[in-house]
Structure 1
Amino acid sequence: MAFTIGDLSREFGVSLRTLRFYEDKQLLNPKRQGPHRIYSRRDRARLKLVLMGKKVGFSLTEIKEMLDLYDLKDGQAVQLKVALDKFTRQIEVLKQQKSEIERAIEELSRTLAVVDGMLRDREAEAREAAG
């Protein structure tokens, strides 16, 4: 089965420019038919993995490294080991970021309560002065 650049753009909600960028980064390798790009099932699968990898915080370089391991023809054992290691490390990075975000939300919520209280006091003082 073959896909056009427009097919993949619509299916995955990415711009044509993004697909061309991924091609420049050698993440996708469409065939050319004249001026047209024809993407294979393999390109579609790789695009799906690229987008998933970006969503969970991997860089394009890391994604390319993992995708390129598929081409080793070793029964994917090396690729699976590398992926397992990268996924484990990325989970730790995301957990750390989650913890930092939770702390920031708590701090901002406390500050919000203080500022809200100060504003209510000022408004009450203004009403008393006016009334």
Structure 2
Amino acid sequence: MTSTREEQRTWSIAEVAEELGITHRTVRHYEQLGLVSPAREGTRRVYRRRDRTRLGLVVRGRRLGFPLEEIAKIIDLYDAPRGRTSQLEYVLSQIDERRADLEQRRRDVEAALTELDTFEQRCRDELASR
């Protein structure tokens, strides 16, 4: 169980950006899109555990190639009546779609590489015959 002190911990924009390997500008962009809502102390943004977790989910989703709209929907499902269950069911369906897309891209890349190999060999053969 987390202690009250851990639950109340806050992070600056610099700390969350560094931890997640993103820029301050990216963090502010995600805030502008409503993916996080840090508290303010004057002009300073104060990120709480929830904000940090949400940013982590956004960054992971982006690295997996999910569009921000899908990431927002996944994150928002957590607060829905069925909460974590509906979120997980939706995520699984999105993973299936993403995997199919990536597998098709892999086939396309492999076909392009094969075509390049064939073209390269033709060029080499033609050069060799001169």
Structure having the higher helix fraction is 1
Match status 1:85 vs 2:101: no
Distance 2:57 2:123 in 1: 45
Checking the alignment, whether the CA contact within 8 Å between 2:36 and 2:51 is kept in structure 1 is yes
Q: Superposition pairs for residues 33-112 of structure 1, below 5 Å? A: 33-112=41-120
Q: Give the aligned residue type for 2:65.
A: G
Identity of aligned residues (%): 35
Look up the SS of the partner of 1:37 in the other structure: strand
Tell me which structure has the larger Cα radius of gyration.
1
Aligned CA RMSD, in angstroms, stands at 1.5
Residue range with higher mean Cα deviation, 66-75 or 13-22:
66-75
Give 5+ residue unaligned stretches, structure 1.
126-131
Distance 1:24 1:73 in 2: 26
Checking the alignment, whether the CA contact within 8 Å between 2:77 and 2:83 is kept in structure 1 is no
Where does residue 6 of structure 1 map in the other structure?
Answer: 14
Where does residue 129 of structure 1 map in the other structure?
Answer: none
Where does residue 24 of structure 2 map in the other structure?
Answer: 16
* Structure 1 residues 9-66: Cα deviation after superposition (integer angstroms, max 9, x where no partner): 2112211111100001111111111000011111111111111111121100010000
Give 5+ residue unaligned stretches, structure 2.
1-8
Seen in structure 2, the aligned counterparts of structure 1 residues 20 and 7 have a Cα distance that, compared at 3 Å, is same
| Number of positions where the alignment pairs a residue of Structure 1 with one of Structure 2 | 122
Distance 1:59 1:70 in 2: 18
TM-score, reference length from structure 1:
0.85
What is the CA-CA distance between 1:74 and the residue it aligns to? 2.4
What is the CA-CA distance between 1:112 and the residue it aligns to? 1.9
